[in-house]
């Protein structure tokens, strides 16, 4: 079994010698991505500042490739570890090229002069984060997102063995979030660089990380592979969710279901019902949903938002009892929404529900325009 490359051994972190998190023991192998997740103020940044020596450890040790971090001089540590923290960097009259060139510090001589190869590496790092076009711009003139990319380029130019990042996707739009995480994944898997970071977006964390560490105000509540750590219930506990929900399988967040007695039934299926569920939730209109097969993708949205969902066993004809349950709910409603899901074959029962609703004189709406007009 491959040995740990980066290890936190019984580490306690805090300020002024007073711990806020204690007895942290974690290990990362070379080329792995470990991500800290958890609520604001839980101590994620404090951990990262401690393992990068921005803060002294209250107790315990951090080891890099078997060597205690505290024993390394600054230049040697810089040749192995690159750091991108959330502290605002505001150098005056400094170009982006110069910021990234600072990453070559461990490899330059006493006078800090760049060789031709150093300049090539800086240019390559800027290109890697799609920032070559702003190389000559003053760093202070950039947007927060552009600065974040330049700081990542500085870390890349440092050619480290491990990169530590605190909320690197902050200030980035969705395109640049994805690009940044793809760069980190490439560095880890193609170059063997170890990545330790914190993220707020747990959906992205689950997709990019080899290991997840859940940091709560009480300490490390869980660590392991994303599929082992993340569940609907574990995320609810970690963030103290009292309203709304998180679906670990899809990485989606849903707001709280509307309160009250439903007067609307949505005939959905195959994802067609999802826009209607969310539209009704935003309008504060409680509703029922069905009939959905247990393997239907939209069940993950219907379950937290609908007052009740009629479900049927996958790959089997809909049982008459389920059809009767759905009809009973339709009887209690004035309005039925036809989501547009095809009603042939396996979904024939839903076609029967729409026929049933019309025969009972229910108002049947189809399409988002009809729904919007009805809700106004």
Alpha-carbon span 49 to 45, nearest angstrom: 6
> Quick one: pLDDT band at residue 1, thresholds 50, 70, 90?
low
Q: How far apart are CA 293 and CA 349, in angstroms?
A: 11
Q: What is the pLDDT of residues 276-328, one digit of tens each?
A: 999 999 989 999 998 999 999 899 899 999 999 999 998 888 999 999 999 99
Share of the chain above pLDDT 90, in %: 63
- Residue 250: pLDDT band (50, 70, 90) is confident
Ordered by start, the domain boundaries in the chain are: 6-241, 255-375
Listed residue (172, 135, 173) closest to 154, CA to CA:
135
CB of 279 closer than 8 Å to CB of 368: yes
Least confident range from 24-38, 94-108, 258-272, 291-305: namely 94-108
For helices 320-331 and 348-359, angle between their N-to-C axes, nearest 10 degrees: 30
Share the mean pLDDT of the chain: 89
* Rounded distance between C-alpha atoms, residue 172 and residue 181, angstroms: 11
CATH number for the region 255-375 comes to 3.40.50.720
In this chain, the answer to whether the domains covering 6-241 and 255-375 adopt an identical fold is: yes
**Residue 156 in tokens:** 């890349």
Helices (H), 158-273: 174-191, 202-208, 226-229, 232-239
d(CA 331, CA 318): 19
Q: Which fold has domain 6-241?
A: Rossmann fold (3.40.50)
């Amino acid at each position: 079994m491959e040995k740990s490359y980066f290890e936190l051994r019984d580490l306690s972190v805090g300020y002024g010698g007073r711990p806020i998190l204690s007895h942290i023991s974690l290990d990362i192998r070379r080329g792995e991505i470990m991500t800290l997740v958890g609520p604001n103020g839980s101590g994620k940044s404090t951990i990262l500042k401690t393992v990068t020596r921005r803060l002294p450890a209250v107790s315990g040790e951090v080891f890099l490739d078997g060597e205690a971090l505290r024993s390394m001089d600054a230049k040697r540590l810089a040749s192995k570890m690159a750091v991108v923290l959330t502290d605002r960097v505001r150098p005056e009259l400094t170009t982006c090229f110069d910021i990234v060139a600072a990453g070559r510090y461990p490899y330059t001589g006493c006078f800090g002069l760049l060789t031709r190869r150093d300049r090539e590496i800086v240019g390559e790092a800027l290109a890697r984060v799609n920032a070559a076009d702003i190389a000559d711009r003053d760093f202070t003139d950039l947007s927060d997102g552009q600065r974040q990319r330049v700081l990542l380029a500085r870390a890349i130019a440092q050619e480290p063995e491990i990169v530590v990042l605190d909320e690197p996707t902050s200030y980035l739009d969705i395109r640049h979030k994805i690009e940044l995480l793809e760069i980190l994944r490439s560095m880890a898997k193609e170059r063997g660089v170890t990545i330790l970071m914190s993220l707020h977006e747990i959906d992205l964390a689950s997709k990019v990380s080899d290991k997840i560490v859940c940091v709560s105000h009480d300490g490390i509540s869980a660590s392991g592979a994303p599929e082992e750590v993340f569940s609907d219930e574990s995320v609810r506990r970690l963030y103290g969710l009292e309203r709304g929900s998180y679906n670990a399988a899809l990485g989606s967040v849903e707001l709280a279901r509307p309160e009250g007695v439903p007067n609307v039934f949505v005939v959905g299926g195959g994802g067609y019902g999802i826009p209607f569920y969310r539209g009704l939730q935003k309008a504060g209109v409680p509703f029922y949903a069905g009939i959905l097969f247990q393997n239907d993708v939209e069940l993950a949205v219907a379950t937290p938002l609908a007052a009740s969902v009629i479900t049927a066993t996958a790959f089997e004809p809909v049982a008459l009892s389920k059809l009767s349950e759905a009809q009973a709910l339709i009887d209690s409603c004035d309005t039925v929404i036809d989501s547009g899901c095809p009603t042939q074959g396996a979904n024939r029962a839903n076609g029967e529900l729409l026929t049933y609703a019309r025969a009972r004189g229910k108002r049947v709406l189809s399409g988002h325009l009809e729904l919007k007009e009805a809700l106004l």
